[in-house]
Amino acid sequence: MYTPPSGKSTCLSVLLAAMLLAALVLPNVGCRSGSSAEALVVDIGKRNPEQLMRFYLGAIDGVGGDSLLTTDGRRVAVRGDRIEALTGYRADTNSDGRLDWDETVALVAVTYRAGERYPATRDELEAQTDYRNDDVSFTVDLQGTMTVATRRIFVPMSALRAAVASVDPANPRVMYPVSTTIVGEHWLDNALAETTVMTKRQDGFWDYYVYNASGQLADSTSTEPRPLQSPTQCAGCHFGSRTFEPEKSFPAPARPGPDGPRQFVSDVPRVSPDVVAFFDEHRRRSDTVLGIYATLFVGQLQEMAAAGNISDSDRRILATLFGEGE
Ligand code: HEC
């Protein structure tokens, strides 16, 4: 006689055993609700995944991503559950246990929100920092690689002086104080097309943000040759090792690039090649700052010293860098 029940029960017990095994072998399967640890392996196809993830996650936890990142020195993983707890956003959108580049861009778009930490308009930024005041900022005008617009870059004089004064002559890294804000205005046909900004965070990374032509915070730049998404595309050049003109050839003039001239268009001090080599500022980019403001500033101090027109404190800065004779 045909007895289906026993067959059925065998089938069920096999199924139960399989489920039990799956639960034992794949502990993560049951943990996707976010209550337990969820380490997402970072798989973004970039050269410096840990630095990039610390930069992005530091914008969430304020401590360089320390609470959201784990690494065994080889592989970097991020805590998807903690990110979700802090931001309400689930980073692993395709639930494969990894964080790929598209998921990272989406995560950053939702969580970076530099706008909530910084002024909502360029006018407010100006009111807070007074960066257009000649007494406040060290200013350089140039045509470079980021845009075909002419850039006017404003570096707070007090921060630049502090950075130069703290340079170790044996290892001349130029490091700016926390909270330094550097502004780059992009000018086309006598109109301000956009403004790019970097503000140094507590954790040592800089936040990147952009104001559009009407002075509102924007997701990206818009000028030729290509719009740059903030902050994901800012990190590309600022964290990379590629060198750019006109900084690369300075003090020699640079040849024009595919998108036009690359040159300093304001008067820059005559800086001796020795000083340029001493800082090697653009290649060293110790603080992910790509301009050569310390080099130019010291060139200016040396010109003032030669003209007998330098303050005692600035003379001491030169003496510390290059010895008493300066
Ligand atoms: C194509 C490479 C590239 C990209 C992408 C890029 N930058 Fe820059 N950036 C530079 C270079 C080179 C300088 C140095 C000054 C110059 O030559 O324009 C610079 C300078 C700056 C400065 C002045 C401080 C410094 O480092 O010298 C700010 C502010 C700035 N960039 C903001 C941004 C923001 C915001 C983004 C993203 C929207 C961005 N950058 C993307 C190459 C880049």
Closest Cα to residue 53, out of 34, 26, 78? 78
Q: How far is the CA of 184 from the centre of ligand 1 (A)?
A: 8
Does the CB atom of residue 233 touch ligand 1 within 6 A? Answer: yes
Looking at residue 122, its pLDDT comes to: 98
Mean predicted confidence (pLDDT) in 250-266: 95
Give the model confidence (pLDDT) of 82-126 as tens digits: 999 999 999 999 999 999 999 999 999 999 888 888 999 999 999
| Predicted pLDDT at 139 | 98
d(CA 6, CA 277): 85
Pocket lining: 55 vs ligand 1, CB cutoff 6 Å? no
The confidence band for 73, taking pLDDT boundaries of 50, 70 and 90, is confident
pLDDT tens-digit series, residues 34-44: 444 689 999 99
Cα–ligand 1 centroid distance for 274 (angstroms): 25
Report the separation in Å between the CA atom of 246 and the middle of ligand 1, taken as the mean of its atom positions.
13
- On whether the CB atoms of residues 131 and 160 are closer than 8 A, the answer is no
Reply yes or no on whether the pLDDT at 275 is more than 60.
Answer: yes
- Residue 10 clears pLDDT 50, i.e. is over it: no
Ligand 1 pocket check for 232: Cβ under 6 Å? no
Nearest atom in ligand 1 to the alpha carbon of residue 285 is 26
Helix extents (H) in 150-292: 157-165, 232-238, 273-279, 281-284
CA distance 288 to 282: 9
305 CA distance to ligand 1 middle (Å): 31
218 lines ligand 1 (CB under 6 A): no
- pLDDT tens by residue, 279-324: 999 999 999 999 999 999 999 999 999 999 999 999 999 999 998 6
* 58 pLDDT higher than 90: yes
Pocket test for ligand 1, best of 52, 105, 290 (most atoms within 8 A of CB): 290
> Does residue 190 have a pLDDT over 90?
yes
* pTM listed for this prediction: 0.88
Q: Which atom of ligand 1 is nearest to the CA of 140?
A: 15
pLDDT at residue 325, rounded to an integer: 52
CA angle 286, 292, 298 (to 5 degrees): 105
Does pLDDT of 164 surpass 60? yes
Query: Which pLDDT belongs to residue 72?
Result: 84
Q: Ligand 1 within 6 A of 142 CB?
A: yes
Q: Choose the most confident range, by mean pLDDT, from 22-26, 45-49, 296-300.
A: 296-300
Higher per-residue confidence, 10 vs 265: 265
Token code pair at residue 281:
């500022």
